Each structure stands twice: as structure tokens, then as C-alpha cells.
Structure 1
Amino acid sequence: MRLWLGTIMLVLALNFSCWAAPVDNVDYLVGEGDVLKVMVYDNPDLEITTRISGNGIIIFPLIGEIRIDGHNVAEVGQIISRKLAKGFINDPQVSVFVEEFRSQKTVIMGEVKVPGLYELSGPTSLMEVISTAGGLTVNAGDLVTIKRKNPSKPDSDKIISVNLKNLLEKKENEANLIIIDGDSVFVPRAGVFYVTGQVQKPAAYKLEQGTSVIKAITMAGGFTDLAAQRKVQIIRKVENEEVVLKKVPLHTPILAEDVIVVPESFF
């Protein structure tokens, strides 16, 4: 009985870890309104809790004003450490923590159950934002787009593409998937393709990145005994006209709205 319960708990833990990987606060970019706690090892008189001003500045003992907005938590610690090392403390060890996060917002649209504007409470991963929006719909595609403001080029947003399938399989670098203030997240509708003719389960199927003819036929249950396996056709729309591709190789990539036709063999 204990072994059975242990197995169930392990499965649940693995599933949860795919969706809610922890986000490290050291990567969080601080800004106006954040409340920071700063501690210097073996110097309790220098411990402060302070709110970042509208100019992105904090006031620190011995140093005075320090501009820190736009830096992450780890960088703030390094900035303070370097300044203290200039004639105040030998090899200062500085720790910085975010005590209170400022109000931040992101927009998520497309194939989530409750699209809209959401507040971010500190560092928030892409999967956490999707979960907050009710999760993905059954029609959601794999490739998510994040539009992010580019401080160095105000007229040109940075576009980040994320493959959700790779993310869940731990093939994406999660450190690059933190959603920040002002991000716009779009989950597109998945493309579909159709398989008809001599296959076990003719139907429409969700298009995944890298789907080939043989994978599509496998998704449709495989060939029937009557299938002409070397005469597979693809009906494809090209500039609003239908084009028939005959005797296509089984490794041919599938596009959205393709119709795969497996004819009957008469021999």
C-alpha cells in the first residue's frame, strides 16, 4: 500500500514540475515601487529596507544615492558591493531581497480559457501566466509569441518565440521564460491537417511542428491492408488554388490545411 501511494505521489510531483518550475528572484529586474531589503554580512548597522524611488534610486548608508532600476537583484548586490569596497569595507558580502513587488501587468491573448490583463506578483514564468489565464484551450498551438518592449530600440519590440512542447519536455531554457512588466503573450490556434482514404482513422488532426506524412498516417492509425502506400497524395492550397502532389515521399513535411489522401491499391 505504501509503495502504491509513493508511486502516485511521484507521478504527481513530476507532472507538477513540468508546469510550475520555480523562478529565481535574482533574475528579477527591479524598478520604481519595489521594496528591497539589503544586508551586509557582519555589518548589521548597514541593513536597510527601502523603496526604489520614481527615479530608480535608493539611498544607502555610507554611499548615498544609487541608481539601480533596470538591474536584476543579483546585479544590485554587486553594485552596492563595489561601492562599499571603495574605502568603506574590505570585501563586502552584500545580499539583496525583494520584500515587496511593485504592480506589474501582462496581457495574454489567443487560445487560453480566460484571456485578458493580469497582474504579475514578482518573477512569473510563462507557464504560470498561462495557468492564471485558465490554461490552454484544446485548439492551442505549440508556438507561443511574447512581444516585449526593447529599451534600446523603443520603436521596435523584441519578439520571443517559445515552443510549449519543448518547454514541457525541458528542452527550453526556463531562465529565458520569465514574463516581465509590459509583455504581451499570444497563444495561436493550432493548424490542422486531414487524412483520408485507406487509413484506420480518417479525420482532422492537430498539426505539430515537424509533422511528416508518415507521422500523420501513424496518427491516423496507420495504413489499411488495401492502401497503396507508394501513391500517397497531398492536396495543398497554394495561393488560394488547390494543387495535388502525387506519390509524395513519406518524409515530406505537412503544412496547415493539407489533405493527405491514401488511395486504394488494386493489385
Structure 2
Amino acid sequence: MNAAAFGFGINMILLFLKLGKGLYMQTLFYAMFLSLTAFSLPAAAMDYRLGSGDIVHVTVYDHPELLLDTRVDEQGKIDFPLIGAVMVAGQSASSAQRLIAEALERGGFIKKPQVNLIVKEYRSKQVSVLGQVNKPGKYPLDTTSTVSDLLAQAGGVTLEGADELTLIRNQDGKLQRTKIDTKSLFQDGQVDLNYQVIGGDVIFVPRASVFYIYGEVRKPGAFRLEKNMNVMKALSLGGGITPRGTQRGIQIRRKGADGKPVIVNAALIDPVREDDVVYVKESLF
């Protein structure tokens, strides 16, 4: 519902209030207010299914003594005045308020009760976004959400973040880890990688792999390891070889299979691996 239509509805309500009072006008006002509220609510709030831990605010029109702010318990219930426990887990807000209204009327407490239930805090379904994101933490799911939705809520990946993240999910008591290439997702548009997330999922963005280059290069230091990185690309990131260096004197120092350091005489097309140290020797001539 746009702002103009909402404003028009409010003006009509005020006009009706000026024209008359009494039970009929009060009922009409309340009905119109509920309609406007329903149309102005985001679709996410209308679709959300309640669960244990959610905080809800419940009111019954013209019965302020029944106002309730409470938490959905571990069994998925809320304890409502007069009627006792009401199972709301798995229900939308509109379905839950209908259950309360039916129980109030069935018990003979209120005739045609008008119940309104609002979710104040979404706590039953949360996803943790951890690692190299700008705002790590737990985020509630108030609607159908995807990996990209959660990354956006977490402020995006930091400059130090890797191009591949891990989606961790507890499936039937077993942890499943799914690797997602974010470059393929966002740059190449592979939407099949944009998995839907569920409550309890963890999205972890590790720090990007790096390699090191020093010796006779113009900009020695640590650099982000890109896909298909080779010695030639590594040298370009290092600003190229200085006049004192030599292309024939390039070595790569890395850990061997046994964990001990090894030295490899490298050609320009040789691959560079994580934590490699590329060293450019000084020319002897």
C-alpha cells in the first residue's frame, strides 16, 4: 500500500469520527484501522510462521485487561488470559490471532472478539553469519531468505574476505558443509548457488588466502591469492622486477607434503599456492 492511499484512509477515518460517535462508529473505525494495518504490513511479517522464542504482542479490542506481551515457550505455546495455553507455533500471525479469538468466543468470555497479534521480536529462526563480514552476528528469519539476503544484512563481505564461503547446516544430527563461490554467484549470475537458508544455519566467510613476494620487486609484501594465480601474475601485483632483479632467479618457498619448507626454482607459468613465498634474486651481472 503506498503512502498516498494510506493517508487517504486515515483522513476518511477522521471524517467518520467527526460525523458521529457510539458503538457503530467505534466498530467501523476499528475495522478500517485493522484493514489499513494489514495492507501496510510487509509481506514478510504476514508470511512468517511463529516458533519457540518469538516475542509477541497481543491485544483484544475494547479489552485492555487482556493485553499481553509474552514469549512463545519451548512447546510452541503462549499462556493467554481466560483461555490458558494456545498452540501458536507453526501459525502465521493472522492464524494465531484467529485461534485466540475462537477460544475466547467458544469459552463464552467475549462475543465476536477482535484480536490483533504482532511479532515484536523474531527469535525462533535465526542464522549466524560469521567470519569476514562487516557485521557478524545472529540474524532472524522473518521470511524466506537466501545466502545473499543474509550477507546483505551482515553488511557484506570485508576486503579481507575470501571468494568462497561455507554454508553449515545441521541435517538430521549431522553437519553438512556446502562451499559457495561468491564470485560465480554475484558476478556470473549463477543463481543456483544462492541457497535458501533455514533456522540454525551458519554462514562462514573465511579470510582470503594470501601469498608473499619479496626480493627484487618494486612492491614487496602480502597479496590476495586469486584463482589460477601464477608467477607472472604474482610479479605484476608486486610491481614487476626491479632493474637489479632477474627473471631467471625466481624461487618459490613453500611447505612440502611433510610440512617441511622446500625451495622450487620457478618459471613464469608455474602456479602460486596459498602461503607461498615468491623470491626474486638479484642479478649477478
Choose which of 263, 266, 269 in structure 2 pairs with 1:244.
263
Q: Is the CA contact 1:106–1:181 (under 8 Å) kept in the aligned structure 2?
A: yes
CA–CA separation in structure 1 for the residues paired with 2:49 and 2:196: 19
Match for residue 147 of structure 1? 168
In the alignment, the residues of structure 2 paired with residue 243 and residue 133 of structure 1 have an alpha-carbon distance, to the nearest angstrom, of: 41
Any residues of structure 2 matched to 1:8-87 within 5 Å, and which? 33=50
> What does residue 3 of structure 1 align with?
none
Report the identity percentage.
33
Deviation track 1:192-243 (CA, whole Å, cap 9, x = no partner) reads 2111122221111122233222111111122233332133100112344221
Larger RCO (CA under 8 A, 6+ residues apart): 1
- Quote the Cα distance in structure 1 between the aligned partners of 2:169 and 2:48: 16
User: Which residue of the partner structure matches residue 229 of structure 2?
Assistant: 211
- For 1:184-263, what aligned pairs fall within 5 Å after superposition? 184-238=202-256, 239-246=258-265, 248-263=266-281
**Residues 136-159 of structure 1 deviation map (CA, whole Å, 9 limit, x = unaligned):** 233211110001233xxx133332
State the Cα deviation string for residues 55-101 of structure 1 (Å, max 9, x = none). Answer: 89xxxxxxxxxxxxxxxxxxxxxxxxxxxxxxxxxxxxxxxxxxx99
Give the deviation of 1:188 after TM superposition.
Answer: 0.5
The whole-number CA distance in structure 1 between the counterparts of 2:124 and 2:188 is: 30
Distance in 2 of aligned mates of 1:234 and 1:204: 14
Q: Could you tell me how far 1:171 is from its partner in structure 2?
A: 4.6
Query: Take 1:128 and 1:199, find their aligned partners in 2: how far apart are those partners?
Result: 42
Shift of 1:191: 1.9
Tell me the equivalent position of 2:149. 128
Q: Which residue of 2 aligns with 1:39?
A: none
2:180 corresponds to which residue? 162
Matched positions, count:
176
User: What CA RMSD, in Å, does the superposition of the two structures yield over aligned residues?
Assistant: 3.1
What letter matches 2:227 in structure 1? Q
Q: How does 1:105-124 map to 2 (within 5 A)?
A: 105-124=126-145
Distance 1:256 1:190 in 2: 9
SS class of match (1:229): strand
1:175/1:260 CA distance change after superposition, 3 Å: closer
CA contact 1:198–1:223 (8 Å) conserved in 2? yes
Kindly indicate whether residue 198 of structure 2 is the aligned counterpart of residue 180 of structure 1: yes
- Which of the two has higher C-alpha Rg? 2
TM-score (norm 1): 0.56
Question: What is the CA–CA distance in structure 1 between the aligned matches of 2:215 and 2:207, rounded to whole Å?
Answer: 26
Tell me which amino acid in the other structure corresponds to 1:199: V
8 Å CA contact retained: 2:254, 2:261: yes
Sort the Cα spacing of 1:170 and 1:178 in 2 relative to 1 into closer, same or farther, 3 A.
farther
- Give the match's secondary structure for 2:199: coil
Q: Indicate conservation of the 8 Å contact 1:200/1:224, yes or no.
A: yes
- CA apart distance, 1:184: 0.8
> C-alpha distance in 1, partners of 2:194/2:277?
37
Change (3 A) 1:120 1:54: closer
Query: Which residue identity is paired with 1:118?
Result: Y
In structure 2, runs of 5+ residues without a counterpart are 1-42, 52-86, 92-118
Q: Which amino acid aligns with 2:254?
A: R
Q: Secondary structure, in 3 states, of the residue corresponding to 1:216?
A: helix
Q: Distance in 2 between matches of 1:174 and 1:121?
A: 22
